[in-house]
């Protein structure tokens, strides 16, 4: 057995863990951050390629959940977590949503402008920037379609840095921002180390049991633990440690469908990355936008399309991938299964969510037709493509009936923070109730889905909580 010692153990290196390690280390604390996945530097793999998905995505990409409607979910598993694989689209926290959380869950210090200075710091430190110049053909087409319908759309900012030498810029994920800062401030960062469970003695954690790449058991001894494995894995680690009360019962997500739209001329430019245009008109309850269009991704979303897929793919440059996602009310569950390493995740999609997703699908197809799409591949496998407004009711009905493939890339709320009286297992700053020295500081803490792209909200809240921890 290998033994490691630390004062503060941070588990997981995504936005929550990276921010926590950085704030604590820069304040002079001795930090050991452990990450299950490998360090794969930005630029070492081609985004959305097989190599990328094998090395950086949990289970190589999509993981199925259990439930009556097909829902697959996506997680990062590498140093930097999902910030290394995501579209890097930035949305500032929505103040009305924060206000509502503060009220509904009894969270002080969150609503109004309480998060403002943390938001400002995140935007500055992670180089949140607009796309320079034209945002690309897909974005321009979506913007033109939206404008013709009177819907507001904007090119959203990204966690991205541009300079004259590299006009396409560089992703500002955790391995480019908070992790190097944490390391420079003295934090030890160990990848390839998976925590199985916490070691608890009465009301205190005294460490954790982990395994390294070679499968050897590693015992980590520490004075306090901050769990930041992401919404699913954090719940799994805690539940495996025997901490089950209120943990993993309230998983939220933004249900999303993707469609492929066929145009007469070029729409797909993989070099620009994920096109940044989003339709603002229906936020935060509904977001419509452009998705990644690499060949592998395109092929994935053409599964279920009518016609000869190979023939379609031969003209890949005429096809773009687009998404509609909604602010769901569904509460899923994360469970640990004895002797099985993986989480058991289940969702029973609520009718209201399916109805909203049906409306979102209809609006997405409407704007794509307005943008000049010749047809939109139906997200309901085997159903005919949408070629005119007359096809929209059938599309909406199919999605409402739960026949489309639903994906969740934004997962939250498995360890909601808030007042004890509201049943929250963590206090308003992420400290677990009933334990003296265990905190959570990642997407798990958000008491509900923020609806919008959540990384900015997760980073700002993690910064707030880490500062509180220092106090
Ligand atoms: C495909 C995709 C696209 C997205 N696009 C956007 C976007 O454009 N904009 C946006 O704002 N958000 C986006 N998101 C969401 C955003 O990336 C996440 O909300 C955010 O990364 C969550 O941060 P986190 O720290 O909670 O967890 P994660 O980012 O999931 O990080 C958790 C880390 O902990 C590690 N870990 C887990 N269990 C263990 C263990 N037992 N031992 C050690 N380490 C462990 C994991 O390997 C992982 O690296 C996207 C997500 C995905 C998957």
Average pLDDT of span 287-297 = 90
Residues 404 and 428 in one domain: no
Ligand 1 midpoint to CA 306 (Å): 34
User: What's the confidence (pLDDT) of residue 211?
Assistant: 98
Going from the Cα of 442 to the center of ligand 1, the distance in angstroms, rounded, reads 9
Ligand 1 centroid to residue 15 C-alpha, Å: 7
Ligand 1 centroid to Cα of residue 282, in Å, is 25
- Ligand 1 atom showing the smallest separation from residue 14 Cα: 31
Residue 76 lies in a domain: no
Model confidence pLDDT, tens digit, residues 214-243: 999 999 999 999 999 999 999 999 999 999
The residues near 125 (Cβ < 8 Å, ≥ 6 apart) are 177, 178
Smallest CA-to-CA distance from 346 within 338, 355, 336 is with 336
pLDDT at 134: 86
Q: For residue 91, which atom of ligand 1 is closest to its CA?
A: 11
Please state the length of the chain: 471
- C-beta 88 within 6 A of ligand 1: yes
349 close to 68: Cβ distance less than 8 angstroms? yes
| Distance between CA atoms of residues 370 and 365, nearest Å | 8
In a shared domain, residues 371 and 420:
no
Do 289 and 428 lie in a common domain? no
Which residues does 288 contact at the CB level (< 8 Å), separation at least 6?
Answer: 142, 278, 279, 282, 322, 323, 324, 360, 363, 364, 367
Cα of 44 from ligand 1 centre, angstroms: 19
Task: Answer yes or no: is 49 within a domain.
Answer: no
Ligand 1 neighbourhood includes 442 CB (under 6 angstroms)? yes
**Biggest CA pair distance of the chain:** 66
Say what the pLDDT of residue 294 is.
85
Instruction: Look up residue 273 and give its DSSP letter.
Output: -
308 in a structural domain: yes
Q: Is the CB of 238 under 6 A from ligand 1?
A: no
Residue 295 pLDDT: 84
384 pLDDT above the threshold of 90:
yes
Q: What is the pLDDT of residues 27-82, one digit of tens each?
A: 999 999 999 999 999 999 988 888 999 999 999 888 999 999 989 999 999 999 99
Q: Which residues contact 155 (CB under 8 A, 6 or more apart)?
A: 130, 131, 135, 139, 143, 276, 277, 278
Domain boundary among the residues 408, 430, 462 is at 408
- 159, 233, 237, best to mutate for ligand 1 pocket (most atoms within 8 Å of CB): 233
pLDDT-derived band at 310 (thresholds 50, 70, 90) equals confident
Token pair of 440, please? Answer: 């959570």
The helix (H) or strand (E) run that includes residue 408 is strand 406-408
358 CB-side CA count, 13 A: 19
Could you give the count of Cα atoms lying within 13 Å of 339 in the half-sphere of its Cβ? 0
Tell me, using a 6 A CB cutoff, whether residue 454 lines ligand 1: yes
Does residue 220 sit within a domain?
Answer: yes
In this structure, the residue with its CA closest to atom 47 of ligand 1 is 77
Q: Is 453 in the pocket of ligand 1 (CB under 6 A)?
A: yes
Give the CB-side neighbour count of residue 386, counting CA atoms within 13 A: 31
**What pLDDT, in 10s, does the model give residues 72-131?**
999 999 999 999 999 999 999 999 999 999 999 999 999 989 999 999 999 999 999 998
Determine whether the shortest distance from the Cβ of 226 to ligand 1 is under 6 A: no
Alpha carbon of residue 394 to chain centroid: 30
Residues 465 and 417 in one domain: yes
The residue segments making up the domain with residue 378 are: 131-169+255-408
If asked whether residues 265 and 296 sit together in one domain, one would say: yes
- Average model confidence (pLDDT) for the chain? 95
Same domain, 99 and 114: yes
CA dihedral over 128, 132, 136, 138, signed as positive or negative: positive
For residues 153 and 178, state if they share a domain. Answer: no
Q: Alpha helices, DSSP H only, in 126-262?
A: 137-149, 178-184, 231-240
- Same domain? 349 vs 459: no
Atom of ligand 1 nearest to the CA of 196: 41
CA distance 357 to 354: 5
Contact call for residues 237 and 256 (beta carbons, < 8 A): no
Would residue 66 count as lying in a domain? no
| 430 Cβ inside 6 Å of ligand 1 | no
Give the confidence band of 433 by pLDDT, cuts at 50, 70, 90: very high
Q: What is the pTM of this model?
A: 0.96
Q: Ligand 1: does its nearest atom lie under 6 Å from the Cβ of 450? A: no
Residues 400 and 340 grouped into a single domain? yes
Atom of ligand 1 nearest to the CA of 231: 26
Can you tell me the mean pLDDT for 148-172?
Answer: 92
Query: Residue 41 Cα, ligand 1 centroid: separation in angstroms?
Result: 16
Establish whether residue 289 lines the binding site of ligand 1, counting it when its CB lies within 6 angstroms of any ligand atom.
no
Q: Which of 160, 96, 178, 48 is nearest to 448 (CA)?
A: 96
Residue linked to tokens 């974005």: 139
Task: Determine the Cα–Cα distance for residues 17 and 20; give it in Å rounded to an integer.
Answer: 5
Q: What is the CA radius of gyration of the chain?
A: 22
Q: Is the pLDDT of residue 166 over 90?
A: no
Q: Which residue has the higher pLDDT, 378 or 295?
A: 378
Which CATH number does the domain housing residue 14 bear? 3.50.50.60
- Which of 388, 408, 428 marks a domain boundary? 408
- Residue 451 in contact with ligand 1 by CB distance below 6 A: no
Task: Collapse the DSSP code of 310 into the 3-class scheme (helix H, G, I; strand E, B; otherwise coil) and give the result.
Answer: helix
**410 catalytically annotated:** yes
Q: Is residue 50 part of a domain?
A: no
DSSP code at position 316: G
Q: With a cut of 90, say whether residue 300 has pLDDT above it.
A: no
Marked catalytic residue, from 29, 91, 410, 412: 410
- How many Cβ atoms are within 10 Å of 117's Cβ, its own excluded? 13
Please check whether residue 54 lies inside any domain of the structure: no
Question: Bridge partners of 326?
Answer: 286
149 alpha carbon – ligand 1 mean position (Å): 35
Mutation choice for ligand 1 from 6, 21, 229, 323, CB with most ligand atoms inside 8 A: 229
Rounded CA-CA distance 120/290 in Å is: 26
Do 189 and 236 fall into the same domain? yes
Distance between start and end Cα atoms, the chain:
35
Same domain, 217 and 333: no
Tell which of 384, 408, 432 closes a domain. Answer: 408
For the packed helices 15-26 and 455-470, what is the interaxial angle rounded to 10 degrees? 30
Q: Is 138 in the pocket of ligand 1 (CB under 6 A)?
A: no
Q: Say how far apart CA 127 and CA 144 lie, in whole Å.
A: 28
Q: For ligand 1, what atom is nearest to the CA of residue 234?
A: 38
What is the number of domains present in the chain? 2
Atom 37 of ligand 1: nearest residue by CA position: 229
The encoded tokens of residue 194 equal 């998976």
What stretches of 35-94 show up as alpha helix (H) in DSSP? Answer: 50-56
Place of tokens 């399916």: 354
- Binned at pLDDT 50, 70 and 90, residue 412 comes out as very high
What is the predicted pLDDT for the residue at 449?
96
- pLDDT band for position 468 (50/70/90)? very high
**Cβ atoms within 10 A of the Cβ of 1, count?**
7
Cα–Cα distance measured from residue 54 to residue 350, given in angstroms and rounded to the nearest whole number: 32
- Is residue 226, in this structure, part of any structural domain at all? yes
Structure tokens at 31: 């930090």
34 CB within 6 A, ligand 1: yes
Q: Tokens 């309850």 — which residue?
A: 285
Do 158 and 179 lie in one domain? The reply is: no
């Amino acid at each position: 057995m290998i033994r490691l010692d630390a004062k503060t153990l941070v588990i997981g290196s995504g936005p929550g863990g990276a921010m926590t390690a950085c704030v604590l280390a820069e304040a002079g604390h001795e930090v050991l951050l452990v990450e299950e996945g490998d360090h794969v530097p930005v630029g070492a793999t081609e985004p959305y390629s097989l190599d990328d998905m094998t090395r950086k995505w949990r289970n190589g990409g999509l993981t199925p959940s259990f439930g009556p409607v097909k829902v697959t979910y996506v997680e990062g598993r590498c140093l930097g977590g999902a910030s290394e694989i995501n579209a890097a689209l930035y949305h500032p926290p929505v103040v009305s949503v924060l206000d509502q959380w503060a009220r509904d869950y009894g969270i002080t210090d969150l609503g109004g402008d309480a998060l403002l200075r943390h938001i400002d710091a995140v935007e500055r430190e992670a180089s949140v920037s607009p796309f320079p110049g034209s945002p690309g053909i897909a974005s321009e087409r979506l913007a033109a379609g939206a404008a013709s319908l009177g819907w507001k759309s904007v090119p959203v900012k990204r966690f991205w840095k541009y300079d004259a030498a590299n006009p396409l810029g560089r992703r500002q994920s955790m391995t480019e921002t908070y992790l190097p800062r944490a390391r420079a401030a003295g934090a030890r960062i160990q990848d390839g180390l998976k925590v199985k469970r916490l070691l608890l003695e009465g009301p205190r954690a005294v460490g954790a049991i982990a395994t390294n790449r070679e499968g050897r058991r590693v015992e980590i001894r520490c004075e306090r633990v901050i769990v930041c494995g992401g919404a699913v894995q954090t719940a799994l680690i805690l539940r495996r440690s025997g901490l089950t009360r209120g943990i993993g019962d309230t998983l939220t997500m933004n249900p999303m469908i993707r469609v492929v739209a066929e145009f007469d001329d070029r729409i797909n430019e993989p070099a620009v990355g994920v096109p940044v245009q989003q339709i603002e008109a229906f936020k935060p309850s509904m977001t419509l936008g452009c998705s990644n269009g690499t060949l592998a991704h395109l092929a994935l979303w053409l599964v279920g399309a009518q016609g000869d897929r190979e023939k379609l793919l031969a003209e890949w440059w005429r096809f773009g991938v687009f998404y509609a996602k909604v602010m769901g009310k569904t509460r899923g569950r994360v469970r640990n299964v004895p002797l099985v390493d993986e989480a058991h995740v289940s969702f029973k999609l609520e009718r209201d969510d399916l109805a909203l997703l049906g409306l979102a699908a209809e609006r997405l197809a409407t704007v794509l037709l307005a943008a000049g799409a010749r047809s939109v591949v139906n997200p309901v496998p085997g159903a005919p493509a949408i070629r005119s407004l007359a096809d929209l009711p059938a599309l909406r009905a199919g999605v409402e009936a739960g026949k489309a493939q639903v994906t969740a890339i934004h997962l939250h709320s498995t360890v909601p923070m808030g007042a004890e009286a509201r049943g929250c297992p963590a206090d308003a700053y992420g400290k677990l109730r009933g334990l003296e020295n265990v905190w959570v500081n990642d997407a798990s803490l958000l008491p509900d889905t923020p609806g919008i792209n959540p990384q900015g909200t997760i980073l700002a809240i993690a910064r707030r909580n880490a500062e509180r921890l220092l106090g």
